[in-house]
Amino acid sequence: MANNTPQIIGRADHTVSRKHISKAALKVLYTLKDAGFQAFLVGGAVRDLLLGGRPKDFDVGTDADPDQVHALFRNSRIIGRRFRLVHVRFGREIIEVATFRAASDPDLDEDRSDEEGRLLRDNMYGSIDEDVWRRDFTVNALYYNIADFSVWDYVGGVEDLKDRKLELIGEPARRLREDPVRVLRAVRFAAKLRFMPVPSLESAIAEHKELLANIPPARLFDEFLKLFQAGFARSAFDALRYYQVFRELFPDTAEGLAAHDGEDFEHFIRTALDNTDRRVEEGKPITPMFLLGVFLWWPIRARARMYVEDDGVNEVQALGRATYDCLARQQARIAIPRRFGAPLREMITMQPRFAKQRGGRALGFLEHRRFRAAYDFMLLRHVIGDVSDETAEFWTEVQTMEQAERVQAFGLSQKPANKDRPRRRRRRRKPPPSNDG
């Protein structure tokens, strides 16, 4: 599989076309080349171009060091501590330029990895034929050379791409110990690209998935976004559960799914995932706080019931406390930025308000800035019978009404003379599809 001289696939024999590479990426590639450096498109962009897709971002590999790259682009800055990268900015697009780095072998080089074999440092510059070995999957280790538009393949990546085969470069167990996030990357590419992990990768995942517990929670939040906010949330969920990795990310959620009423919870989650994927497809905005609320709903609800029964607090207070607790427990795995925690708690603690359908306060609920998210969440609860048909219908209908009609619906009356007029029912409309605010 692996070779120290690349197979070079000429322009005529592959499908990567400059037409599908962003202007910004081409500019960076040509500027480096014209300055006498090697310049390659690398990683996921080459993979996606060979698959006929449109990459969402372009990464460049070069033998120029970060200071040399920085000197070539006014619109650039050096980032990163563990290894230095250059970000070149063109409007909203950022091209990431990485200097080739030497692969490190943690078995040979002990002070560069911890007891579990995790890489601590890998910041030694190298050449392209060293750089290739530090990459994760064969299909992610292809290089597109701007000098002659050829594709360089050291690891059989082009063939694996044709076979839709996902295979780590090198010994799978060692590569997963080096960086357990590769477990999630494997599951993500399996779900997103419908690539099949080879059996040796599957067994290495089974053996090493628990190492995800050692990964900093902040890094796992990024992975959470890539798994669940990119349009394939449903298949990511299925793949994570298939490989029994989901419980490493969401232990309390996994417990809820395994409980006696877990089927309802699963239906609840799947409906939300489908809605999210649909919204991404339609180009509608989404927020991670909604799915986090969905994943934590079972544990939150169970805990809130406990607070109501044992401590006699009201439902809203109980939900507030339970959300706080469950978020804190979840943070041990995935760091949820504060800007998502507060709205999530609001969305959850607003749920009891849907039961109150009379009066000015109920009417005012419609204007709450978090109403939309709370409403979408309530509709999900309705899907599994947590909320009555009447309640779901009421809040769906009032949103389509004119103000005067709304006032009546909430049992408020503008003109006392009209008080006895029977409330007219509007024709039912389908709730507008949406899952957040």
Token digits of residue 116: 């579990």
Closest residue by Cα to residue 40 from 88, 87, 99, 84: 99
Q: Which of residues 301-330 bind ligand ATP (CB under 6 A)?
A: none
230 and 222 Cβ atoms separated by less than 8 Å: no
Q: How many CA atoms lie within 13 A of 12 on its CB side?
A: 0
Q: Contacts with ligand ATP in 59-98 (CB under 6 A)?
A: 59
Q: Are strands 76-79 and 7-9 parallel, antiparallel or unpaired?
A: unpaired
Looking at the Cβ atoms of 167 and 179, the one nearer to ligand ATP is 179
CA-CA-CA-CA torsion for 230, 231, 234, 238, nearest 10 degrees? -50
Half-sphere exposure of 4 (CA within 13 A, CB side): 3
Please state the closest distance from residue 127 (CB atom) to ligand ATP, in A.
16
For residue 406, give every residue at least 6 positions away whose Cβ sits within 8 Å of its Cβ, in sequence order, or none. 363, 366, 398
Q: Where are the alpha helices (DSSP H) in 75-230?
A: 128-131, 157-162, 172-178, 181-193, 199-208, 217-228
| Residue 136 binds ligand ATP, judged by CB under 6 A | yes
Does 111 participate in catalysis according to the annotation?
Answer: no
Q: Which of 57, 65, 238, 386 is catalytic?
A: 57
For 224, 306, 390, the CA distances from 197, given in Å and listed in that order, are: 20, 43, 47
Choose the contact partner of 240 out of ligand ATP, Mg ion, none; CB within 5 to 8 A by kind.
none
Closest distance of CB 45 from Mg ion, Å: 6
Size of the site for Mg ion (CB under 5 A): 2
Catalytic residue among 48, 131, 136, 252: 136
- Which entry of ligand ATP, Mg ion, none binds 393, CB below 5 to 8 A by partner kind? none
Instruction: Say whether 67 is catalytic.
Output: no
Which residues have a Cβ under 8 Å from the Cβ of 424 and sit 6 or more positions away? 405
* Cα 330 from Cα 300, distance rounded (Å): 11
167 lies in the binding site for ligand ATP (CB under 6 A): no
Please say which residue, 166 or 387, places its beta carbon nearer to Mg ion: 166
Residue 86 to residue 84: CA distance in whole angstroms: 7
Residue 392 φ/ψ, nearest 5 degrees: -60, -45
If one asks whether residue 182 binds ligand ATP (CB under 6 A), the answer comes out as yes
Q: Map the footprint of ligand ATP across residues 400-429, applying CB under 6 A.
A: none
Q: Which is nearer to ligand ATP, 154 or 375 (CB)?
A: 154
State how far the Cα of 237 lies from the Cα of 269, in Å rounded to an integer: 9
Q: How far is the CB of 4 from ligand ATP (least distance, A)?
A: 18
| Nearest residue relative to ligand ATP (C-beta) | 44
The option from Mg ion, ligand ATP, none interacting with 135 (CB < 5 to 8 A, set by class) reads ligand ATP
Picked from Mg ion, ligand ATP, none, the partner binding residue 20 (CB below 5 to 8 A depending on kind) is none
Amino acid at the residue 136: D
* Nearest alpha carbon to residue 121 among 65, 82, 176, 68: 82
Name the minimum Å distance from CB 43 to Mg ion: 5
Phi/psi of residue 347, each to 5°? -60, -40
Instruction: Give the residue, chosen from 62, 113, 138, 140, that forms a contact with ligand ATP under the rule CB under 6 A.
Output: 140
Residue facing Mg ion at closest CB distance: 44
- Among ligand ATP, Mg ion, none, what does residue 182 contact (CB within 5–8 Å per kind)? ligand ATP
Spatial separation of the C-alpha atoms in residues 297 and 303, rounded to whole Å? 10
Interface stretch with ligand ATP, choices 1-9, 73-81, 179-187, 373-381 (CB under 6 A): 179-187
Structure tokens at 4: 């120290």
List CB contacts of 239: < 8 A, sequence separation 6 or more: 187, 188, 190, 191
Binding piece for ligand ATP, criterion CB under 6 A, among 70-78, 136-144, 266-274, 277-285: 136-144
User: Going by C-beta distance under 8 Å and a sequence separation of 6 or more, which residues neighbour residue 292?
Assistant: 330, 336, 340, 344
Q: Report in angstroms how near the CB of residue 139 gets to ligand ATP at its nearest.
A: 8
57 versus 238: smaller Cβ distance to Mg ion: 57
Question: In the complex, what is the shortest distance from the CB of residue 272 to Mg ion, in angstroms, rounded to a whole number?
Answer: 26
Residue 247 near which of Mg ion, ligand ATP, none (CB within 5-8 Å, type-dependent): none
Amino acid in position 42: V
Q: Is 135 in the site for ligand ATP (CB under 6 A)?
A: yes
Asked if 236 and 192 touch (Cβ cutoff 8 Å), the reply is yes
Select which of 48, 59, 122, 436 is catalytic.
59
Q: Active site includes 59?
A: yes
Site for ligand ATP (CB under 6 A): which residue of 6, 43, 117, 341?
Answer: 43
CB of 52 to ligand ATP, least distance (A): 14
Question: Of 28, 40, 41, 44, which one interacts with Mg ion (CB under 5 A)?
Answer: 44
Q: What distances in angstroms separate CA 310 from CA 234, 300, 313, 314, 434, one per listed residue?
A: 37, 15, 8, 11, 36
Q: Is 208 in the site for ligand ATP (CB under 6 A)?
A: no
Q: Which residues bind ligand ATP (CB under 6 A)?
A: 43-44, 57, 59, 135-136, 140-141, 179, 181-182, 185, 226
Q: Which residues bind Mg ion (CB under 5 A)?
A: 44, 57
